[in-house]
Structure formats: structure tokens, C-alpha cells
Amino acid sequence: MKIGKGLTIATALMLTGAMLTACGDKGAGANAANASGKPSAATEKKYKISAMSILYGAAPPDNGTGKKAIEDRYHIEYNYIPVASGEYNNKLGVTLASGDVPDAVLFPYLDAVYFSSINSGQFLPLDAYLNDSAKYPNLAKLPKDVMDTLKSNGHVYGVPRLRGIPGATIVLRKDWLDKLGLQVPTTYDELYDVMKAFSEKDPDGNGKKDTYGLAAGVSNGFPFISLMAAMHAGPSVGWVEDGKGGIVPGEFAPNNKEAVGYLAKLYKDGLIAPDFAIKKDAQIEDDFLLGKAGVVGNWGYTSFNKERLEKARAVDPKFEVVAIPPLKAPDGSEGGYVKGAGFFGVFALNKELEKDPGKLDKVLHMLDDQLGDDGATFFKWGVEGVHYKVENGQKVVTDLGKTEGPNQYQLTNHANEGDWILLSSDTPETTALKQNSFAVAMQGKPYTSQDVGLYSATNAEKGAELTKNVVDGLVTVITGQKPIDYLDQMFADWKSRGGSQILTEMNEAWKARK
């Protein structure tokens, strides 16, 4: 089943923002190489390293100055292959099938494709290197929680791209709230009232009824992770504990009828666009940014960046947003948001690298370096005078730094904590928004999607199709074509088509991990 894809997408989007920022230290390349005890560049063999990663927004230039700086830093020939996020899964499938696999490949999700690739021996188990704290100090320091999640068949196959644990929150149009004289909602009923006002009381003041309460759509799943979080059920939250000592997909969790029923009510009362099913990630975000909807249910801290604010303010200069604390659960108890897994995607290394220890060491060193303070600083800022300049003792990113700084070609990054959640492009406003989101996401009783990193063979084979059926079924319930009790039939159907087996396997894996 889908695992909080909304969140991952949101995180990814933010990251994009992160990657857009650029920065650097002049001569950092040479210094870093020395600092990490590497032999000097002149005597070292120049390896050709290829890496495929996900791209949000515009592609960096093929021969950008940032890429050059990276090549100098590591003394490599760097073949960076950025693939647009919408196309990533297709490209990944084709790349794996072609047999011509780059040295490092990003798997954005621990999904069927990931598990079948590692099970077929295309990628290298990394345990030995990840524990070698002498050679790779930063890899050895990767958070244990994350690494436990990544363990499959007793091995770790990927170096994670670390993200903050705080996940997505409900985000509202603050200027609309103020204009209509409404309070920040604290319960689902209050949120309903806010959305109703957003769609009926003309919050944008253009005299037309052309706004909706909630930005909704269907990509691979629904963008409702933070909206559904306090329900402990419903789409987007991943697998949750069923209260009977096991786990179950959120869509079929005990409280699922209340959760999905809430969405159905929003739809019935016109607070969601009638044809929301045609909207994909990009349109969902646009609906919120461009003033068609007042609430969004999958924005994490990385969502708050300058590009988004600028885009929104080009349409409405008064655009203000606020991330709100978790709603109370329907039974009145304290609610919480779904926590992030602590990473978004992992880099797996081509098995062929085993044959060339020198090259393997180089790839591992690159990943290790990018996780550490020194490397992360280099990637954040780039080269002084090129990607950033120092004004009044402050580093300021240059235009070149924004478009082709090293972060445009970055693989992994520093652990997201403290100031490391900030990008070189962050303004005081986005900094405040990020820090606020980071904080409210952890208020109340945050919890984790239970399925992240769990492997079920049946899920790998049939999961994608079953999930699709569930998404289609949920749309018919939300749009009122089927009654809410249809969820029971969907669950029965899901189980009979292989879901029972998935349930068993996931629960076994979950108990084994506990």
C-alpha cells in the first residue's frame, strides 16, 4: 500500500527548493580533499562516476560551474543524470531493464521496484562500508532508526537522503482566515467550517464563487496526509496500528469510515472541486498557490520556499500561509501528525562497483562527504565569488549559485536539524515559516507510518495494482457514487485479491522489526 506518498512528495518538493539554493567556499574542494585525508589529486586516478537522481523544477546546465566544482573537489569525471520527478519511475524502470545502470541510483520510494531490484542482486549490500567509521565517519553516524528501517534481508542497500522527522502539517491561507475573521481551527468540525467559509464567503474578494476549501487531487494517491493524520485512518497516512496488536492500511483502519466520510462530506458540500480526480500533484499545488483553494493537506517544512511564495504573490500579493498545530482526534483526544521516515529516497550502488574497489571507495567517499558539515557547507554555498559572495560578513547566494551551484548536482545531504533545514536561498520569512512548520509538526502525539521499509513479497508483486483499485474505490466513495459502507466491500475485495497475504506478511515483518 502507499506509504504516506503525499508526505514524501511534499518533502521532495521542498527539497527541490533546497537544491535550488546555491552556495560555496572558494577552494573548498581542495581543502576538503586534504581534510578527509585523501591522497592529493595529482596522484589519484580520475574515476568516471555516474549518478541518477530526481529533479524538481528546471534541470541544471550540463556543464555548470557547480558540477565543475564537484569534479574538482572529488577529482572525478562526474556524469550527473537528473530525471524530472514526474518521469522518474518510468526512467528508473527503463534504466534497470536496460542493464546499463549508473554507479549510484536513487530509489525515491522503498517500493516494489526497489525490493525487486535489490532481491535480484543488482545492487551492493553496504553494511561493511556503513560501519567503517574510520574510512567513512559520516556514513557510520547515519541515524540508527533510519538504518533499521532500511534493513532488508538483514542488509542495507542504500544511503539515505536524510530529511527531518517532522512531517507534513495542515497549511491554511492566513490572509483568508483574517479577512473572514476566523480562528485557527483545532477540531475537524472547526476545520470544516473554515473550509466552508473559504468556498462560500468569497475570501479572495473578487465577487465570484470560484474558490474551494481544500486543494484536492489524485496522483498515485491522495495529498491528504496531514489532513487525515489525527483520524489515524484514511488515505495517505500509510499503515497504522489496528488496536489489536497488528497493522493495517490506513484506508481499512478501524476509524476509516469517519475519515473517508469526512472527505465525502467535503465533496458533497462543494468544498472540494467536483472534478478533483483529474488533478495531479502540480495542479493541486497550483490550486493552493494561485488562490483556488484555501487549505492544503501535505505541506511539510521544505514546502515553504521563496519560489512558491513568489509564484503565489504574483497572483495575490496578500498571500500569507500558516502551518497549524494538529487537530484533535474525532473522539476529542489529542491528535498528532504523521512523522517523516527521516529520509526521502536512498542511493543504491551498482553491484559492478565491487570489481573496482578504488572506484567504490570514491563513490562512498562522495556520499560520506555530502553528509558531513564540511561537505554539506560546500554543497550549500558552492564556491566563493562564483556561487556566493560575502556581504557584511553574511554569505549571499549569487544568481549563478541559484541556477548551477553544487547543490543542483547534489546526491545526499546533511542531517536535517537545526540550521541545516535552511537553504542558502531562504529569506527571513521562509526561515520563520520553515521553523514554525518544523515545530508544529511535532506537537501533540505525532506518529510514524508503520509500513515504511517493511517488505512483503506479495505486496511487491500485486501491491501496485491493489493500491490502484483502492484509490479508484475511494474516489467513488468520496464523490458519493458509492455509500460509505462500500469501504467494507473494498476491504473484502482487497483481501481476496492478495491483500490477506500482504496483511500477514506485513504484520510478520512488522513484529520482527519491533
Partner 1 sequence: MAARIARIDRRHDGWRQRFIRERYLWLMALPGLLYFIIYKYVPLMGIVIAFQKYKPVQGFLHSDWVGLNNFRRIFDTPEIGKYFINTAIISCYQIVFAFTVPIFIAIMLHEIRSAAFKKIAQTLLYLPHFLSWVVVAGIFYLLFQSDGQINHLLASWGLHPINILSNKDNFRGMLVLQVIWKESGWGTIIYLAALTGIAPELYEAAKMDGAGRLRQIFHITLPGIRSTILILFILRLGSVLDVGFEQIYLMLNASVSDVGEVLDTYVYRMGVVNGDFSFTTAVGLLKGLVGMMLIVTANRLARAFGERGVY
Please tell me whether residue 497 binds partner 1 under the rule CB under 8 A. yes
Give the number of residues written for the chain: 514
Interface residue with partner 1 among 112, 170, 230, 452 (CB under 8 A) is 112
Piece of 22-30, 67-75, 426-434, 466-474 that binds partner 1 (CB under 8 A): 466-474
Piece of 94-102, 228-236, 379-387, 402-410 that binds partner 1 (CB under 8 A): 94-102
Please tell me whether residue 37 binds partner 1 under the rule CB under 8 A. no
CA 116 → CA 97, 173, 240, distances in Å? 12, 42, 24
- For residues 365 and 359, what is the distance between their CA atoms, to the nearest angstrom? 10
Residue 140: CB atoms within 10 A of its CB come to 15
Residues 6 or more apart from 344 whose CB is under 8 A from it?
A: 8, 11, 12, 15, 108, 160, 161, 163
Find the radius of gyration of the CA atoms of the chain. 23
Please tell me whether residue 472 binds partner 1 under the rule CB under 8 A. yes
Please tell me whether residue 122 binds partner 1 under the rule CB under 8 A. yes
Please tell me whether residue 210 binds partner 1 under the rule CB under 8 A. yes
Given the C-alpha cell 535489490, which residue does it identify? 118
Least distance CB 283 / partner 1 (angstroms): 9
Piece of 14-22, 23-31, 90-98, 297-305 that binds partner 1 (CB under 8 A): 90-98
Least distance CB 210 / partner 1 (angstroms): 6
Residue at 460: amino acid letter? A
Please tell me whether residue 42 binds partner 1 under the rule CB under 8 A. no
Task: Copy the grid coordinates of residue 449.
Answer: 507510518
- For residues 207 and 224, what is the distance between their CA atoms, to the nearest angstrom? 29
CA 86 → CA 220, 289, 482, distances in Å? 11, 19, 31
Please tell me whether residue 349 binds partner 1 under the rule CB under 8 A. no
Least distance CB 280 / partner 1 (angstroms): 9
Least distance CB 13 / partner 1 (angstroms): 21
Interface residue with partner 1 among 30, 84, 113, 180 (CB under 8 A) is 113
Interface residue with partner 1 among 36, 50, 79, 116 (CB under 8 A) is 116
Q: Report helix, strand or coil for 213.
A: strand
Q: Are 3 and 238 in contact (CB under 8 A)?
A: yes
- Which residues in the 290-319 window bind partner 1 by CB under 8 A? 292
- For residues 289 and 488, what is the distance between their CA atoms, to the nearest angstrom? 36
Render 393-422 in DSSP notation, one character per residue: TEEEE-HHHHHHSGGGG--S-----GGGG-
Q: Does an H or E element contain 64, and which? A: none
Please tell me whether residue 93 binds partner 1 under the rule CB under 8 A. yes
Q: Report helix, strand or coil for 297.
A: strand
Least distance CB 164 / partner 1 (angstroms): 29
Query: How many residues at the interface with partner 1, by CB under 8 A?
Result: 36
- For residues 226 and 237, what is the distance between their CA atoms, to the nearest angstrom? 8
Least distance CB 292 / partner 1 (angstroms): 7
Piece of 120-128, 307-315, 417-425, 441-449 that binds partner 1 (CB under 8 A): 120-128
Please tell me whether residue 120 binds partner 1 under the rule CB under 8 A. yes
Task: Copy the grid coordinates of residue 317.
Answer: 500579493
Please tell me whether residue 475 binds partner 1 under the rule CB under 8 A. yes
Residue 348's DSSP bridge partners are 105, 158
Interface residue with partner 1 among 99, 181, 207, 357 (CB under 8 A) is 99
Interface residue with partner 1 among 277, 422, 439, 457 (CB under 8 A) is 277
Interface with partner 1 by CB under 8 A: which residues?
89-90, 93-94, 96-99, 112-113, 116, 120-122, 210, 218, 273-278, 292, 461, 464-465, 468-469, 471-472, 474-476, 479, 481, 497
